[in-house]
C-alpha cells in the first residue's frame, strides 16, 4: 500500500491515529515468555552466515579472506533485512490502521473477534517452523494447541514465527503494533510440518496470500479512503477484488482499481529470486532492483525512508502520487536507504529453485527447448540463460499482443520480458502480470495465435514441458 508521506503529512496521519480506537490494556499471553528465548535463538541463527566456508582451500591471502568475510557479512545482513526488517512501517500498519487491534481481538485488548491461527493460515500467512520451540511443535502435532484462539496467534507473533509479519509487544506482553516485511509477499514455507507451517523459502511468491483481505481487517481504513478520495466501503470493495496471490502496487499512485474490462487491476505476486543479470524489474519495468526495493519499502510497505522519482510528479498519469509528492519522500530518520545495498546483494544471491525430479517430462522438455529457440521463436526475447533480454528488456504492449492498461500505469508504458526460471513455483493464480492466463498452455496458445506460429498441439505441450523444466 502506498501512502508514504513527507514528514509534514505524517503529522496529519499521526493525529488521525490519536483519534483512532483507543485500546484497553492487553491480557498477557501464556506460552509467550518461553517463546521469547526461542525467538532470540532463532535470530542468532539467522544472523550467522548463510553459506559455510569452503573447507580445505589452500592458503589464501589476507585480502581474499577479508573479502570473503565481508561478502558473508553483507549476505547475512541482506537476509536479515529481507526476512525481518519492517523499516518502521509499524507506524502505518499498526499505529495508524490499527491492524494489530484486529489481530488481537477484543478479548485480548483489541477490537472484534481477533485473528485465529486457522484464519491466518487460511489467509495464506505462513509459519516458520524454525522459530517454533520443540515443545510447541509437539503440542501442535498432538492437537493440544487451540488453533481457533487469537491468543495463539499472538504467541506465534511473539515467537517471530509468522513469515513477513512482526508483532511489537509492550513490557507486559500485550501486542501494541504490527509491521510487515518483504518476506510477507515474497516468501513461502515448504509445508514440512503442516500446510502453511515449514521451513522458509525466501524469494518464492506467496500465491496463497490474500493481501487485500488482510489489509481489509484494519479497523481504521479512513486514511486509505482519504488518500484515494473515496469512502471506506469502496476501499473494502477494492481490497476484496484482489483475491489471493495478488496486490496492486500502482493503486496508490494512480487510484485505478479496475481494468476497463472490469477485472481487478491487481498484479500477481512475483518471485524475488532468479533476478541476477536482469536489467529492469517489475512487469512494467519501473526501474532496477534496488530502485524498486526503495520504492516498495517507502511507498508500499510505508517504511520510513527517502525516495526520489520525479516521474511520479506527472499529474495525469499518477494523480495520487503527484498530489502527495510520493516522488519526494523524506523521513526524519531514514531506516531504508542504509539497508538497500545488502538487501540487493541478498536478493541477487537467490537462485530460482530447480524443479523437482519427475515434475516434468524430460524428453518432451528437450523437444520443447528446440522449439523455444527455433520455430516458436521465444528466445528472441527470453534469451537463455537469463530468459529476458540482456540490455533493454522492454516491449510495447502490441509487440506481445495484449492491452496497454497496466503498461500505461508505469513511466515506461511497456511490459518487461519476464525471466522464466522457477515458473513451476508460481503456477497458482495464473501468468502474465495480472494472471490473465490460467496456465502455461494458455500462455503458449496466446503466442501461437498472436505470432501465427502454427505450432501443433503436441509442440505446444512440449513447449510447456520445457517451461516447467526451467
Ligand atoms: C504486499 C506485498 C509485497 C511486499 C510486502 C513486497 N512486495 Fe515486492 N512485489 C509485490 C508485487 C505485487 C510486485 C509486482 C509489481 C509489478 O510488477 O508491478 C512486486 C515486485 C517486486 C520485485 C520485482 C520482481 C520482478 O520479477 O521484476 C522485487 C525485486 C521485489 N518486489 C522486491 C521486494 C522487496 C525487497 C520487498 C521489501 C522491501 C518487497 N518486494 C515487498 C508485492 C510485494
Ligand atoms: C516480443 C518479446 C517476447 C516474445 C517473442 C515472447 N515473450 Fe514471453 N513474455 C514477454 C513479455 C514482455 C512478458 C510479460 C507479459 C506480462 O507480464 O504481461 C512475457 C511473459 C511470458 C510468460 C509469463 C511469465 C510469468 O511469470 O507470468 C511466459 C510463460 C512466457 N512469456 C513464455 C514465452 C514463450 C513460451 C514464448 C514463445 C512462444 C514467448 N514467451 C515469446 C515477451 C516475449
Radius of gyration of the chain (CA): 23
Burial call 242-255: b when 16+ CB within 10 Å, e when fewer:
bebbbbbbbbbbbb
Question: Does the pLDDT value for residue 332 go beyond 70?
Answer: yes
Evaluate whether residue 425 is within a structural domain.
yes
Evaluate whether residue 380 is within a structural domain.
yes
Question: Does the pLDDT value for residue 255 go beyond 50?
Answer: yes
Mean pLDDT of 441-447: 98
Residues 6+ positions from 310 with CB-CB distance below 8 Å = 327, 328
Q: Which pLDDT score is estimated for 59?
A: 73
Evaluate whether residue 375 is within a structural domain.
yes
Percent over 90 (pLDDT), the chain: 85
434 closest CA partner among 256, 202, 307, 169 = 256
- The total domain count for the chain is 1
Tell me the pLDDT tens digit for each residue of 237-252: 999 999 999 999 999 9
Q: Which pLDDT score is estimated for 58?
A: 65
Mutate which of 400, 408, 453 for ligand 2? The one with the most ligand atoms within 8 Å of its CB, which is 400
SS3 sequence of the chain:
CCCCCCHHHHHHHHHHHHHCCCCCCCCCCCCHHHHHHHHHHHHHHHHCCCCCCCCCCCCCCHHHHHHHHHHHHHHHHHHHHHHHCCCCCHHHHHHHCCHHHHHHCHHHCCCCCCCCHHHHHHCCCCEEHHHCCHHHHHHHHCCCCCCCCHHHHHHHHHCCCECCEEEEECCCCCEEEEEECCHHHHEEECCCCECCEECEEECCCCCCCCHHHHHHCCCCCHHHHHHCCCCHHHHHHHHHHHCCCEECCCHHHHCCCECCCCCECCEECCCCCCCCCCCCECCCCCECHHHHHHHHHHHHCCCCCCEECHHHHCCCCCHHHHHCCCCEECCCCCCCHHHHHHHHHHHHHCCCCCCCCCCCCHHHHHHHHHHHHCCCCHHHCCCCCCCCCCCCCEECHHHHCCCCCCHHHCCCCCEECCCCCCHHHHCCCCECCCCCECCHHHHHHHHHHHCCCCCCHHHHHHHHHHHHHC
Q: Which pLDDT score is estimated for 40?
A: 35
Mutate which of 185, 243, 429 for ligand 1? The one with the most ligand atoms within 8 Å of its CB, which is 185
* Contact (Cβ atoms closer than 8 angstroms) between residue 320 and residue 254: yes
Confidence at 20, pLDDT banded by 50, 70, 90: very low
Residues 6+ positions from 396 with CB-CB distance below 8 Å = 404, 407, 413, 414, 415
Evaluate whether residue 366 is within a structural domain.
yes
Q: Which pLDDT score is estimated for 54?
A: 53
Which ligand has its closest atom nearest to the C-alpha of 435? 2
Question: Does the pLDDT value for residue 64 go beyond 70?
Answer: yes
Mean pLDDT of 224-240: 97
- Alpha carbon of 98 to ligand 1 centroid (Å): 23
Phi then psi for 301, rounded to 5 degrees?
-75, -20
Name the one residue in this structure whose C-alpha cell is 487469537. Answer: 150
Evaluate whether residue 189 is within a structural domain.
no
Evaluate whether residue 249 is within a structural domain.
no
* Contact (Cβ atoms closer than 8 angstroms) between residue 87 and residue 304: yes
Mean pLDDT of 309-324: 98
Mean pLDDT of 70-88: 97
Which ligand has its closest atom nearest to the C-alpha of 433? 2
Tell me the pLDDT tens digit for each residue of 336-355: 999 999 999 999 999 999 99
Evaluate whether residue 373 is within a structural domain.
yes
Q: Which pLDDT score is estimated for 48?
A: 45
Confidence at 65, pLDDT banded by 50, 70, 90: confident
Cβ count within 10 A of residue 355: 17
Confidence at 382, pLDDT banded by 50, 70, 90: very high
Answer whether 92 contacts ligand 1 (Cβ < 6 A).
no
163 closest CA partner among 269, 84, 218, 246 = 84
Tell me the pLDDT tens digit for each residue of 398-442: 999 999 999 999 999 999 999 999 999 999 999 999 999 999 999
Answer whether 293 contacts ligand 1 (Cβ < 6 A).
yes
Bridge partners (DSSP) of residue 437 are 431
Question: Does the pLDDT value for residue 21 go beyond 80?
Answer: no
Cβ count within 10 A of residue 125: 23
Q: Which pLDDT score is estimated for 55?
A: 56
Q: Which pLDDT score is estimated for 354?
A: 97
Question: Does the pLDDT value for residue 16 go beyond 90?
Answer: no
pTM over 0.85: yes
Tell me the pLDDT tens digit for each residue of 178-188: 999 999 999 99
433 closest CA partner among 220, 228, 306, 264 = 264
Protein residues with CB under 6 Å of any ligand 2 atom:
283, 376-378, 380-382, 395, 399-400, 415-418, 420, 423, 431-433, 440, 443-444, 447, 463, 467
Question: Among 64-73, 148-157, 296-305, where is mean pLDDT lowest?
Answer: 64-73
Residue 434 belongs to domain with CATH number: 1.10.760.10
- Give the range of the structural domain holding residue 394, as residue numbers without chain letter: 362-469
Angle between helices 32-47 and 62-84 (to 10 degrees): 140
Residues 6+ positions from 469 with CB-CB distance below 8 Å = 355, 360, 362, 365, 368, 369
Set of cell numbers at residue 71 = 561478502
From residue 381, give the alpha-carbon distance in Å to each of 125, 233, 405, 416, 463.
Answer: 35, 43, 21, 10, 15
Angle between helices 457-469 and 440-450 (to 10 degrees): 130
Evaluate whether residue 351 is within a structural domain.
no
Burial call 295-326: b when 16+ CB within 10 Å, e when fewer:
bbbbbbbbbbbebebeebeeeebbbbbbebbb
Atom of ligand 1 nearest to the CA of 410: 18
Mutate which of 432, 440, 453, 462 for ligand 2? The one with the most ligand atoms within 8 Å of its CB, which is 432
Set of cell numbers at residue 166 = 512482526
Tell me the pLDDT tens digit for each residue of 38-63: 333 333 344 444 444 555 556 788 88
Amino acid at each position: 500500500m502506498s501512502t508514504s508521506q513527507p514528514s509534514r503529512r505524517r503529522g496529519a496521519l499521526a493525529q488521525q491515529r490519536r483519534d483512532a480506537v483507543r485500546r484497553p490494556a492487553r491480557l498477557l499471553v501464556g506460552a509467550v515468555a518461553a517463546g521469547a528465548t526461542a525467538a532470540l535463538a532463532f535470530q542468532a541463527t539467522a544472523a550467522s552466515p548463510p553459506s559455510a566456508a569452503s573447507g580445505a582451500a589452500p592458503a589464501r591471502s589476507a585480502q581474499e579472506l577479508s573479502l570473503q568475510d565481508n561478502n558473508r557479512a553483507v549476505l547475512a545482513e541482506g537476509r536479515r533485512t529481507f526476512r525481518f526488517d519492517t523499516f518502521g512501517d509499524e507506524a502505518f500498519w499498526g499505529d495508524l490502521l490499527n491492524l494489530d487491534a484486529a489481530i488481537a481481538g477484543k478479548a485480548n485488548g483489541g477490537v472484534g473477534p481477533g485473528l485465529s491461527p486457522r484464519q491466518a493460515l487460511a489467509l495464506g500467512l505462513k509459519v516458520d517452523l524454525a522459530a517454533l520451540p520443540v515443545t510447541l511443535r509437539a503440542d501442535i502435532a498432538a492437537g493440544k494447541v487451540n488453533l481457533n484462539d487469537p491468543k495463539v496467534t499472538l504467541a506465534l507473533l511473539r515467537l517471530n514465527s509468522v513469515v513477513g509479519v512482526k508483532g511489537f509487544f509492550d513490557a507486559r506482553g500485550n501486542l501494541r503494533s504490527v509491521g510487515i516485511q518483504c518476506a510477507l509477499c515474497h516468501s513461502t514455507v515448504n509445508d514440512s510440518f503442516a500446510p502453511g507451517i515449514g521451513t522458509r523459502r525466501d524469494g518464492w511468491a506467496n500465491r496463497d496470500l490474500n493481501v487485500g483481505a488482510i489489509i481489509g481487517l484494519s479497523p481504521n481504513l479512513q486514511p486509505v479512503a482519504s488518500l484515494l478520495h473515496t469512502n471506506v466501503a469502496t476501499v473494502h470493495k477494492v481490497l476484496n477484488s484482489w483475491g489471493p496471490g495478488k496486490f496492486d502496487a500502482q493503486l496508490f499512485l494512480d487510484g485505478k482499481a479496475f481494468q476497463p474490462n472490469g477485472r481487478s487491476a491487481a498484479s500477481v505476486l512475483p518471485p524475488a529470486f532468479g533476478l541476477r543479470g536482469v536489467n529492469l524489474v517489475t512487469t512494467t519495468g519501473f526501474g532496477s532492483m534496488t530502485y524498486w526495493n526503495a520504492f516498495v519499502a517507502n511507498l508500499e510497505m510505508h517504511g520510513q525512508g527517502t525516495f526520489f522519482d520525479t516521474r511520479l510528479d506527472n499529474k495525469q498519469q499518477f494523480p495520487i502520487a503527484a498530489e502527495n509528492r510520493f516522488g519526494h519522500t523524506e523521513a526524519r530518520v531514514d531506516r531504508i536507504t542504509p539497508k538497500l545495498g545488502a538487501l540487493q546483494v541478498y536478493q541477487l544471491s537467490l537462485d530460482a529453485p530447480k524443479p523437482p525430479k519427475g515434475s516434468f517430462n524430460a524428453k518432451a522438455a528437450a523437444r520443447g527447448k528446440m522449439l523455444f529457440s527455433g520455430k516458436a521463436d521465444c528466445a528472441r526475447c527470453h534469451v537463455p540463460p537469463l530468459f529476458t533480454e540482456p540490455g533493454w528488456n522492454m516491449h510495447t504492449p502490441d509487440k506481445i499482443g495484449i492491452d496497454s492498461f497496466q503498461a500505461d500505469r508505469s513511466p515506461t508504458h511497456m511490459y518487461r520480458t519476464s525471466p522464466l526460471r522457477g515458473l513451476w513455483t508460481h503456477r497458482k493464480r495464473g501468468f502474465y502480470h495480472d494472471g490473465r492466463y490460467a496456465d502455461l498452455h494458455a500462455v503458449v496458445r496466446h503466442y501461437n495465435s498472436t505470432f501465427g506460429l502454427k505450432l501443433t498441439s503436441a509442440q505446444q505441450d512440449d513447449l510447456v514441458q520445457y517451461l516447467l523444466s526451467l
